[in-house]
Amino acid sequence: MPDRPPDHPPAPGMSHLGRALLMAASVTLVGLLASLATGSPPDAAEAPGSPWALLTRGLLTLGPVTALLWAACRFLDRRPMRTLVLTTASPAWAGPLTAALAVTLGSSLALGGADVDKDVLAQAMATAAVMVPLLLVAHVLPEELVFRGYVLHLLGRSLSRWTLVLAQAALFTVSAALVGRSSEDMAGLFLLGVFAGVLRTTTGEVWTAVAARAALTAVGLLSEGIDLGSTGAPGPWEALLSFAPVPVVLWAVHLLGPRLPGTGSDLSAHPAPRPRRELVQKGILYDVGSTYAPGQHTRERWRTEVVDEEMRVIGEDLHCTAVTVFGQDPARLTEAARLALERGLFVWLQPRSVDAAPTELVSLLDRTAQAAERLRREHPERVGLNVGCELSLFVSGILPGRDFSRRTRALGLLFPLLPLFNARLDRLLRKLTGTARARFHGPLTYGSGTWETVDWEPFDVVGVDYYLDASTRGRYRQGLRGLRAHGRPIVVTEFGCCSYQGAREKGGAGADVLDWSDLDDRRVRGGYVRDERVQADYIDELLDVFETEDVHGAFVCMFIEGDCRYSPDPTRDCDMASFGIVRPPSLESGLSPDDGHWEPKAAFHTLAERYARTFPVEPAPKDRPS
């Protein structure tokens, strides 16, 4: 991982927005000139024109657009075109295939209600086979390479995901309307831009959007060729043919995203990293005791001397400068925080009660905030309060589902309703921050999930549980940069992975391989192989990112998961499916992690070596918790 900007930085004098606007304007001009030269209708999806006219238009459009993209990447950005436009060395086959099959499925559902003559259908299919490749070259490829490739990539360096999707869709709409010399279907163009933008930001590459648009174009040509309105198909079926493929594509790509091979990552390739700076808060999470299922507890017994020794290890051996203590018992939170403060650490207190009702969480936070304020007065500028962790999942009432696992499944199935769930989340966060401010006068943050959209105005620090997984790997650095728009220090409140082959790709969902059906005999499903280097390398790689993206602090998840015991039997080695960087003893040993028995894993040594490093660092602004 480079620790300095690339040898050929972007050309000075033009911002990312300026380059994106210049490219959009240039491509619009190319499209207008191609339309004038061929005399073909600009809106080829409605009236494609002759194959020869489309072929000529494609040659007049795709060639100059490719040259423009190459020139912009070479002379303005000084980066390879592959990293800025295509984002992957080769297209991932699974993404485009998923999109095309999803369109086919949605269209088949709609066509099932129509009585179509076989000869007419055959003729329509033959026409589509000729026209779709021509439309792909004349329209789809140039538009996707520019707006979902170059433009989206540049704007993504400073915008959050949904702002980015809407911004590039707006530019696409204006360009397409100008080229088409018509503003009648701007709403449809904008929705198309949003649809393609969501696919691009979900998969991390342009090819899925290209495939989806090509498949949708084929469906449109088939619908026109068989004249669906004259087949006797009821009105709802005709509407379904137009609408069904889009949500089917979005759902399929969203649900299968973690399984798509070959999707690009921007950890080192792009965007260019910033100069390396030392983290102010080199942190780790410490669980004082949590319950995730009835009858389960992560720390059955509380021994002050054990916690004190582990805080010593965190400060002296791991070289941490900060710790987040979390759990459901305010008394334990307070004592652990006090012990950490006595070891010279900055402390965030985070009350966490799985499946609690919002009113219960408010009450728990109220008691924690009072304790945090007492500690803050004793240790000024060294105590912060984290009001919660991924509350859309951990608390009842935001997502449907009576427990954590059901709400997690609902999130995957109901992701189009995220605006509704985020509105509920913001109402709860307003109550929590109001409660916290009344009791505590230090910095506030929240451990947000990447799917959550948070109003950060009531907070002092932007907090995000930022795991590298299928939903973030395509624009991991860009996601961090988008958070800067809130004008507050950024703290990665959680990051890490488990210790088995394949855990890196699962990120924060790595523990899903555990079977919780029998709490007395938890098993690891799927035949996974223990590999501590996976966890160590993951932490090492992400610390490189945080140190080169102006992150104020980062907290590894976590020191120990005491109820996830090691076993030489891979099917019972729950530690490999935990996020702890130390290994609890096996049940057969008769030893307990509650008594301080554990062994350091490979990640422990990697983290200690990384946190021991020092770099020149600029003084933190006064509004930053130090």
Between the CA of residue 60 and those of 67, 133, 136, 151, what are the distances in Å?
11, 15, 13, 21
Q: pLDDT for 142-191, tens place per residue? A: 999 999 988 988 887 667 677 888 899 999 999 988 887 556 678 888 88
Looking at residue 4, its pLDDT comes to 33
The pLDDT value given to residue 538: 96
Highest mean pLDDT among 34-43, 215-224, 468-477, 570-579: 570-579
Give residues with Cβ within 8 angstroms of 145, minimum separation 6.
65, 66, 69, 85, 86, 206
Query: Do the beta carbons of residue 69 and residue 150 sit within 8 Å?
Result: yes
Q: How does residue 238 score in pLDDT terms, banded at 50, 70 and 90?
A: very low
**How far is CA 311 from its chain centroid?**
32
Structural domains of the chain ordered from first start: 16-259 (no CATH), 281-612 (3.20.20.80)
Tokens 């400068």 belong to which residue? 321
State which H helix or E strand residue 444 sits in: strand 444-447
Measured distance CA(20)–CA(171) in Å, rounded:
9
* Sequence-ordered list of residues with C-beta below 8 angstroms from that of 437, at least 6 positions apart, any chain: 444, 458
pLDDT at residue 235 greater than cutoff 50:
no
Residues 183-186: contacts with CB within 8 Å, 24+ apart? 185/43
Give per-residue burial for 136-156: e unless 16+ CB within 10 Å, then b.
bbbbbbbbbbbbbbbbbbbbb
> Which tops the pLDDT comparison, 163 or 557?
557
Q: Whole-number mean pLDDT of the chain? A: 83
Cβ-contact 604, 560 below 8 angstroms: no
Instruction: Quickly state the pLDDT bin for 55 (edges 50, 70, 90).
Output: confident
Instruction: Find out whether 350 and 386 touch, Cβ atoms under 8 Å.
Output: yes
- pLDDT score at 245: 61
Residue 573 is encoded by which pair of tokens? 């080695």
pLDDT of res. 242 = 52
Least confident of 61-65, 161-165, 176-180, 583-587: 161-165
Three-state SS at 382: coil
Measured CA to CA, the distance from residue 493 to residue 10 in angstroms comes to 32
Rounded Cα–Cα distance for residues 261 and 92 (Å): 6
Cis peptide before 42 (omega within 30 of 0): no
pTM score: 0.71
Q: Give the model's pLDDT for residue 308.
A: 98
* Cα separation, 218 vs 99, whole angstroms: 13
Min mean pLDDT across 76-80, 308-312, 509-513 is at 76-80
Judge whether residue 111 has pLDDT over 70: no
* Arithmetic mean of pLDDT, 411-434: 90
Sign of the alpha-carbon torsion through 72, 74, 76, 78? positive
3-state secondary structure of 347: strand
Of the given ranges (94-103, 319-328, 332-341), which has the lowest mean pLDDT? 94-103
Instruction: State residue 6's pLDDT score.
Output: 38
pLDDT digits (tens, 9 = 90+) for 259-283: 444 444 556 544 566 788 999 999 9
pLDDT of residue 317: 98
pLDDT for 177 equals 87
Identify the CA nearest to 493 among candidates 618, 349, 396, 626: 349
Q: What is the CA radius of gyration of the chain?
A: 27
Q: Is the pLDDT at 42 greater than 60, yes or no? A: no
Report which of residues 229 and 318 the model is more confident about.
318
* Cβ neighbours, 10 Å, residue 58: 22
Q: Which range is least confidently modeled, 5-9, 381-385, 601-605?
A: 5-9
